Copies of this chain bind each other. A is one copy, B any other.
Amino acid sequence: MDRQPAELDRFRALLQGYMDKKGLRSTDQRKLIVETFFHADNHVSIEELLAQVRAHDPRVGYATVYRTLKLLAECGVANERRFGDGLTRYELADDGATHHDHLICVECHTITEFEEPRIEDLQEKVARKYGFELRSHKHELYGVCAACQKVRRTGN
């Protein structure tokens, strides 16, 4: 996944600020896990991330990966996501201005992101109608992606 260095710097600063404030320490493992996460595909599962981390340093324990990702989620750098498959995945947080949601292919499990401001607006209306103070949301569309439909038509 290609990311703009500036975007990552913003997240590095956010994490650093949070760690300073809480008196948390910067260890080699944490740096490795965080940078691996930054350069991994979006929506990596913990298992996938652990494998990539261990390619650089096989001694990293999986508890450390769990703990580091929880930390990233806490400080707003990452979001925890659970799509249908029983795995927890993490994605880089949004930049504040935009928000994206997901299309998930039920056949090949590909995850595509989409943005639709009009849906976001309607959501806020719904929340207001119920006197609900909106904090976050999850909007996932499940179906068959274009590629899988094609495969199905052509018999492969």
Binding site for B on A (CB under 8 A): 82, 103, 105-106, 112, 114, 116, 118-119, 122-123, 125-127, 129-146, 149
Q: Which of B82, B126, B143 is the one whose CB lies under 8 Å from A134?
A: B143
- So how many copies of this chain end up in the complex? 2
Residue of A82, A129, A143, A146 with most chain B CB atoms under a 10 A cut-off? A143
Q: List 16 A-B contacts (CB under 8 A).
A: A105-B132, A112-B132, A114-B126, A114-B130, A116-B126, A119-B119, A127-B141, A127-B143, A130-B145, A132-B143, A133-B149, A134-B143, A135-B142, A137-B139, A137-B141, A139-B139
Q: Is the CB–CB distance between A130 and B112 below 8 Å?
A: yes
Min Cβ gap A2→B in Å is 20
| CB pair B145 A131 closer than 8 Å | yes
A151 CB → nearest B CB, Å: 12
Q: Once the chains bind, are A144 and B138 in contact (CB under 8 Å)?
A: no
Residues of B with C-beta under 8 A to A129? 114
- The answer to whether A133 and B127 touch (CB under 8 A), given A122-B118, A138-B138, is no
Q: How far is the CB of A148 from chain B (nearest CB, A)?
A: 9
* Given A114-B126, A126-B103, CB of A141 within 8 Å of CB of B134: yes
A87 smallest CB distance to B (angstroms): 12
